[in-house]
């Protein structure tokens, strides 16, 4: 899901979402 993260990086607000999404992914795995 690198493409998804890259797309989010381009968005300032998306950057914050990526932080939360990253935590959810780590918690899932």
Q: Cα(6)–Cα(10) distance, rounded to whole angstroms?
A: 7
Tokens of 25: 């992914």
Element (H, E) at 6: helix 2-9
Q: What is the pLDDT of residue 6?
A: 72
Indicate yes or no: pTM above 0.75. Answer: no
Residue 22 confidence (pLDDT) above 70: yes
Residue 21 confidence (pLDDT) above 70: yes
* Number of compact structural domains in the chain: 1
Residue 29 confidence (pLDDT) above 60: no
Q: Cα(3)–Cα(13) distance, rounded to whole angstroms?
A: 17
Full residue range of the structural domain in which residue 4 is found: 1-29
CA dihedral 1, 21, 6, 2 (to 10 degrees): -20
C-beta of residue 8 within 8 angstroms of C-beta of residue 20: no
Q: What confidence tier does 12 reach under pLDDT thresholds 50, 70, 90?
A: low
């Amino acid at each position: 899901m690198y493409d998804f993260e890259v797309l989010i990086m381009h968005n300032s607000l998306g950057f914050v979402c990526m932080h939360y999404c990253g935590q959810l992914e780590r918690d899932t795995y």
